[in-house]
């Protein structure tokens, strides 16, 4: 199956430094890929690169291919069409919706721009609201953003994104700012709608388990690089990269009190600070060897996944895993 | 988290570059005017008060780059000497309005509720009085001179200062670090003086710079009307009015030179103040 | 065991809206209690009332055997209360004065509470900096040069400088990266071990609650719906809301389930 989205060797430089290094991954039609990382890992920047929303002054090398089209080289009119096919939702819905316009205006904007008559656009919007679990769609469409709670507004954003029938949805931490019960609800809606429409999804989060919940595969990022890609159900119990294992082990467990958490020493390296000539994680890694500090590992295939670790093969089965 | 810490130095450098040619030029003019205000009377090459009517309105000759004024005194020297009274007045205005304005803004922001409402209402009333009107009234009551005019103007500017600073003070007051200090048991006045006001520093400086320009115009106007600095003391506003007869007679240079000083220095303060305001907003 | 903090029938109304409704709980000396809730539960309002940033409509709050249900009358009262209960806020980026270094912030607190000479204050400040795991450079740096986790350590050190008996942690680790959160949670456990301070943890994160507390109360729309030992509340919740809360937490193998419409 050919990939719908293929990112290959993507390197992005900002005036302040390099934010993404040699990012390579692919998403098949209908597949959901989770992108997990801490601050400075570059996960948000990756989504922005795919969405062509990089900040001014960003220089990109490498390639992003969507349905065999070169994303980085799209003309303005091609870009408009691209935006109908690749939608994005963000962490804070209030920052991405005009507070002085009604929900209905916001939701139908893209459709009306495509030439769909206003009445028909509103009908589709009301339909979509019902699908995302908002009752009384007609009334809601006449309301303003401040009249809706954060969770409801995020559902509106999801609905709006899906109205143009995109083929790929980019979700940048869409539930981080929501209460945990609302998060569960919004995730369920996202999962259900994605599957029913065969939509591809790039889901960005700092929460490993959250990504695992709705994504087929999960990629872990550190210091501007992808360090592991693995099917989600195997990621937690059988990680390939020491960072993934350490991240999973550092999280407290709802089912028990551990005498001490396995904290990773030091702090997450941002892409700006990552060295070019050694493994970026080596200073904090419990399994680092001399080779790790003298050469930079490449992303290599291993047991159905990929990992950027020189010692991955010999560490199989030895990476710390805390049982739930 | 780390990314932000690394970006900050680059961003600050960018802000400096942003100040641009206009900002640097304005800062230079302000610096020159300040130096002139301090040492002007000492470095003025010729006498500034003794008249010699035989030299009235003679044009630029020899060492007299700007010629003579209506009483035969060297214009350049008068301008240099006049810088002092032309800048000291606005300085007093700014000092008075800042002192009262900061106190009102911070107290209002700290106490909130009824105090804030009362202060805001009082400020609204004060807005109704134009500064110059108040200054003229003051000189009528207390006699002409820089002191009465400056004090009156300083009071008239209070609502502008207080309004701008109140917003910033409210924002600081609602920050968690202020709450943390309250929980520690630090008193309101101590928190305001040691933490809130210092964190508003860049805004205060920007606002003061802009107001200096306004005050200069207003005081020049007052002196022009004869209600501020009294002749024969050198002052740019006075010089504009006392040399005005020269324009009709074909000797516009003394008046224009004095006017130009006011205009250039005021613009410089305004431009510098706006730049500082932009930087304060970005901080 | 005597209680270092106890709250009885605490209520807070804002006009018609009741944010906190008849809440009672207590924290034993050296103990650790969690207030679990989502937005609108009233948990932050309770923290504000205990620290004196908000006044209760009714009910009593007692810390270290002193009543603190009403505002402190004198500066001395307020300072004494500062030595009883302290707080660490959620956002590391706004809970420190941007113009003050860690040493500066700690020194100010020490000057406020103790009449010590500067030498002794400096020594104590160094001890606290060490306790929270900051090095010399970080202690003297301004907040903008520190990461979120480092700033939170400064906030903890500043709170501990007052030597409080109760430390309120208002979502203090929620804004931190996972790996940093683990470090700070370990640090908090160590501090409690060393100083016997009691914790009141306000959090929506059930895993953090499990790791750090022995007792828990669950708040929903201002009312307590469940309370008891943390382990029981999380392993065997009695109230439907607590069950729902627990079932919403992502964990290995978890799948979100859709409920009724909004």
Q: Which residues in chain A touch residue B1, judged by CB atoms under 8 angstroms apart?
A: 39-40, 267-268
pLDDT of B238 over the 70 cut? yes
Within a domain: residue A141?
no
- Residue A181 has a pLDDT of 92
Query: Mean pLDDT, chain B, as a whole number?
Result: 86
pLDDT higher than threshold 80 for residue B16: no
Residue of A nearest to B9 (CA): A16
Q: How many domains does chain B have?
A: 1
Instruction: Identify which has the larger pLDDT, B127 or B18.
Output: B127
A14-28 CB burial, b ≥16 within 10 A, e <16: bebbbbbbbbbbbbb
- Going by pLDDT thresholds of 50, 70 and 90, the confidence category of residue B17 is low
Determine which of A191, A227, A254, A281 to mutate to test the interface with C (most C C-beta atoms within 10 Å): A254
Enumerate helices (H) and strands (E) in chain A, giving the number of each. Answer: 12, 12
Interface probe, candidates A267, A270, A273, A284, chain B, greatest B C-beta count within 10 A: A270
- Is pLDDT at B7 greater than 50 in this prediction? no
Average pLDDT over residues C193-210: 94
Q: Is residue B6 part of a domain?
A: no
pLDDT for the residue B139: 87
Q: Evaluate if residue B10 carries a pLDDT over 50.
A: no
**Cα of C101 to nearest chain B Cα, Å:** 13
pLDDT digit string (tens) for chain A, length 324 residues? 688 999 999 999 999 899 999 999 999 999 999 999 998 899 999 999 999 999 888 999 999 999 999 999 899 999 988 988 999 999 999 999 999 999 999 999 988 888 899 999 999 999 999 999 898 889 999 999 999 998 899 999 999 999 989 999 999 999 998 889 999 999 999 999 999 999 999 999 999 999 999 999 999 999 999 999 999 988 888 899 999 999 999 999 999 888 899 899 888 888 888 888 899 999 999 888 888 999 899 999 998 899 999 998 888 887 765 443
Q: Please indicate whether, in this complex, the C-beta atoms of B2 and A270 are within 8 angstroms of each other.
A: yes
pLDDT bin (cut points 50, 70, 90) of residue C115 is confident
Out of A267, A268, A273, name the one closest to residue B6 (CB).
A273
Would you say residue B64 has pLDDT above 70? yes
CB < 8 Å & 24+ apart, contacts of C99-103: C99/B195, C99/B198, C99/B199, C99/C142, C100/C142, C100/C143, C101/C139, C101/C140, C101/C141, C101/C142, C102/C129, C102/C134, C102/C138, C102/C139, C102/C140, C102/C141, C102/C154, C102/C157, C102/C158, C103/C129, C103/C139, C103/C140
Query: A268, B7: Cβ pair inside 8 Å?
Result: no
CATH number, domain of B235, equals 1.10.3720.10
**Residue percentage of chain B with pLDDT more than 70:** 93
Q: Give the number of domains in chain A.
A: 1
Give the residue numbers spanning the domain of A288.
238-324
CB contact residues (below 8 A), chain A span 65-124, against chain C: none
Are C86 and B198 inside 8 Å of each other by CB? no
Q: Binning pLDDT at 50, 70 and 90, where does residue B19 land?
A: low
Residues 6+ apart with CB under 8 A from A130: A137, C261
**Alpha helix segments (H runs only) across chain C:** 43-51, 75-84, 102-113, 118-131, 136-140, 148-161, 178-195, 206-212, 230-235, 240-247
Q: Which of A39-53, A310-324, B21-35, C235-249 has the lowest average pLDDT? A: A310-324
Q: Is pLDDT above 70 for C197?
A: yes
**Does B185 sit within 8 Å of C159, measured CB to CB?**
no
Distance linking the first and last C-alpha atoms of chain B? 18
CATH tag for C3-99+168-247 (out of 3.30.230.70, 3.20.20.80, 3.30.450.20, 3.40.50.300):
3.40.50.300
More confident residue, C218 or B73: C218
What is the rounded distance in angstroms from the CA atom of residue C150 to the CA atom of residue A267? Answer: 10
Q: Is B9 on the interface with C (CB under 8 A)?
A: no
Average pLDDT score over residue span B93-118: 94
Distance from CA of B147 to the nearest CA of C (A): 37
- Judge whether A273 lies within some domain: yes
Residue B102 lies in a domain: yes
Would you say residue A53 lies in a domain? no
- Distance in angstroms (rounded) separating the CA atoms of residues B112 and B120: 11
Q: What is the reported pLDDT for C1? A: 59
Sketch the domain layout of chain C as residue ranges: 3-99+168-247
> Do residues A16 and B10 lie in contact, with contact meaning Cβ atoms separated by under 8 Å?
yes
Q: Is residue B73 a part of any domain in this protein?
A: yes
Residue in B1, B177, B198 nearest the CB of C95: B177
C-alpha count within 13 angstroms, C-beta hemisphere, residue C165: 16
Res A173: pLDDT: 94
Q: Residues C68-85: pLDDT tens digits?
A: 998 878 888 999 999 999
Residue A270: DSSP 8-state: P
Cβ of A181 and C210 within 8 Å? no
**Residue B2 — pLDDT band, cuts 50, 70, 90?**
very low
Tell me the mean pLDDT in the region C183-194: 94
User: What pLDDT band is residue B232 in, cutting at 50, 70 and 90?
Assistant: confident
Neighbours of chain B (3+ CB pairs under 8 A): A, C
- Chains touching chain A, criterion 3+ CB pairs below 8 Å: B, C
User: A106 or B46: which carries more pLDDT confidence?
Assistant: A106
A40 touches chain B (CB under 8 A): yes
| pLDDT score for C73 | 82
Q: Per-residue pLDDT tens for C155-183? A: 999 999 999 999 999 999 998 999 999 99
CB B19, CB B275: distance < 8 Å: yes
* Minimum distance, in Å, between the CA of residue A3 and any CA atom of chain B: 32
* Residue A222 phi, psi dihedral angles, 5° rounding: -145, 130
Give the domain extent around B85: 66-282
pLDDT number for residue B18: 56
**A261 contacts C211? CB cut-off 8 A:** yes
What is the predicted pLDDT for the residue at A320? 65
Residue B9 clears pLDDT 50, i.e. is over it? no
Asked, for residue A259, whether it belongs to a domain, the answer is yes
Mean pLDDT of C96-117: 94
Over residues B156-188, the pLDDT tens digits come to 999 999 999 999 999 999 999 999 999 999 999
| Nearest Cα residue in chain B from A266 | B2
């Amino acid at each position: 199956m050919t990939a719908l989205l293929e990112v290959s060797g993507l390197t992005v430089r900002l005036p302040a430094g390099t934010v993404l290094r040699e990012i390579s991954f692919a998403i098949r039609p209908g597949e959901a890929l989770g992108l997990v990382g801490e601050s400075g890992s570059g996960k948000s920047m990756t989504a922005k690169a795919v969405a062509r929303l990089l900040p001014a002054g960003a220089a990109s090398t490498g390639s992003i291919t969507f349905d065999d089209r070169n994303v980085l080289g799209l003309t303005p009119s091609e870009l408009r069409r691209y935006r109908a096919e690749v939608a994005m939702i963000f962490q804070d819905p209030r920052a991405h919706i005009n507070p002085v316009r009604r929900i209905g205006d916001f939701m139908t904007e893209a459709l009306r721009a495509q030439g769909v008559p206003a009445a028909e656009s509103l009908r589709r919007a009301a339909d979509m609201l019902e699908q995302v679990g908002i009752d009384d769609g007609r009334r809601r469409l006449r309301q303003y953003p401040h009249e809706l709670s954060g969770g409801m507004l995020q559902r509106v954003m999801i609905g709006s994104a899906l109205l143009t029938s995109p083929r790929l949805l980019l979700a940048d931490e869409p539930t981080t700012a929501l209460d945990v019960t609302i998060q569960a609800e919004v995730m369920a809606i996202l999962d259900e709608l994605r599957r029913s429409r065969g939509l591809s999804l790039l889901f960005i989060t700092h929460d490993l388990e959250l990504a695992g919940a709705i994504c087929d595969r999960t990629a872990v990022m550190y210091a501007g690089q992808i360090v592991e890609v693995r099917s989600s159900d195997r990621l937690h119990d059988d990680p390939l990269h020491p960072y993934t294992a350490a991240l999973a082990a550092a999280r407290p467990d709802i089912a028990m009190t551990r005498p001490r958490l396995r904290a990773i020493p030091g702090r997450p390296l941002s892409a700006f600070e990552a060295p070019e000539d050694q493994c970026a994680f080596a200073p904090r890694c419990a399994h680092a060897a001399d080779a790790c500090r003298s050469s930079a590992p490449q992303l290599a295939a291993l047991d159905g996944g990929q990992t950027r670790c020189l010692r991955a093969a010999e560490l199989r089965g030895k990476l710390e895993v805390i049982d739930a | 988290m780390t990314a932000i810490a690394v970006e900050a130095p680059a961003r600050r450098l960018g802000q400096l570059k942003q100040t641009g040619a206009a900002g640097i030029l304005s800062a230079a003019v302000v610096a020159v005017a300040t130096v002139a205000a301090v040492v002007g009377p000492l470095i003025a090459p010729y006498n500034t008060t003794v008249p010699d009517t035989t030299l009235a309105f003679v044009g630029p000759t020899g060492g007299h780059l700007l010629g003579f004024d209506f009483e035969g005194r060297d214009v350049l020297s008068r301008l240099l000497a006049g810088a002092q009274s032309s800048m000291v007045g606005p300085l007093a205005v700014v000092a008075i309005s800042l002192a009262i304005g900061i106190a009102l803004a911070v107290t209002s922001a700290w106490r909130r509720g009824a105090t804030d409402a009362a202060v805001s209402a009082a400020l609204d009333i004060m807005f109704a009085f134009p500064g110059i009107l108040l200054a003229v009234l003051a000189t009528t009551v207390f006699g002409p001179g820089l002191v009465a005019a400056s004090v009156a103007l300083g009071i008239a500017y209070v609502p502008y200062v207080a309004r701008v600073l109140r917003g910033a003070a409210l924002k600081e007051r609602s920050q968690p670090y202020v709450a943390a200090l309250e929980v520690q048991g630090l008193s309101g006045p101590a928190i305001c003086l040691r933490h809130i006001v210092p964190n508003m520093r860049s805004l205060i400086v920007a606002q003061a710079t802009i107001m200096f320009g306004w005050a200069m115009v207003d005081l020049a106007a007052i002196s022009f009307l004869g209600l501020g600095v009294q002749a024969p003391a050198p002052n740019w506003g006075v010089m504009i009015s006392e040399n005005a007869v020269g324009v009709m007679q074909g000797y516009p240079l003394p008046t224009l030179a004095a006017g130009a000083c006011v205009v250039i220095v005021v613009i410089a303060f305004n431009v510098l103040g706006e730049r500082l305001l932009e930087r304060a907003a970005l901080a | 065991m005597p209680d270092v903090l106890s709250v009885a029938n605490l209520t807070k109304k804002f006009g018609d809206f009741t944010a906190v409704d008849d809440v009672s709980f207590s924290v034993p000396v050296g103990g650790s209690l969690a207030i679990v809730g989502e937005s609108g539960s009233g948990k932050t309002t309770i923290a504000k009332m205990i620290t004196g940033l908000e006044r209760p409509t009714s009910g009593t709050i007692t810390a270290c055997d002193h009543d603190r249900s009403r505002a402190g009358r004198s500066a001395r009262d307020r300072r004494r209360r500062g030595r009883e209960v302290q707080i660490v806020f959620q956002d590391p980026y706004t809970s420190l004065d941007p113009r003050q270094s860690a040493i500066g912030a700690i020194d100010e607190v020490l000057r406020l509470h103790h009449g010590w000479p500067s030498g002794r204050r400096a020594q104590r400040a160094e001890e606290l900096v060490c306790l929270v795991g900051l090095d010399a450079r970080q202690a003297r740096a301004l907040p903008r040069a520190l990461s979120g986790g480092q700033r939170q350590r400064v906030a903890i050190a500043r709170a501990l400088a007052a030597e409080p008996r109760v430390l309120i942690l208002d979502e203090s680790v929620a804004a931190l990266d996972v790996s940093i959160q683990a470090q700070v949670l370990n640090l908090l456990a160590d501090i409690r071990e060393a100083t016997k301070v009691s914790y009141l943890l306000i959090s929506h994160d059930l895993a953090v609650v499990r790791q750090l507390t022995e007792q828990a109360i669950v708040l929903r729309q201002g009312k307590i719906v469940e309370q008891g030992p943390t382990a029981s509340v999380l392993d065997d919740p009695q109230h439907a809301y607590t069950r729902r809360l627990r079932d919403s937490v992502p964990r290995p193998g978890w799948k979100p389930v859709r409920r009724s419409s909004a």
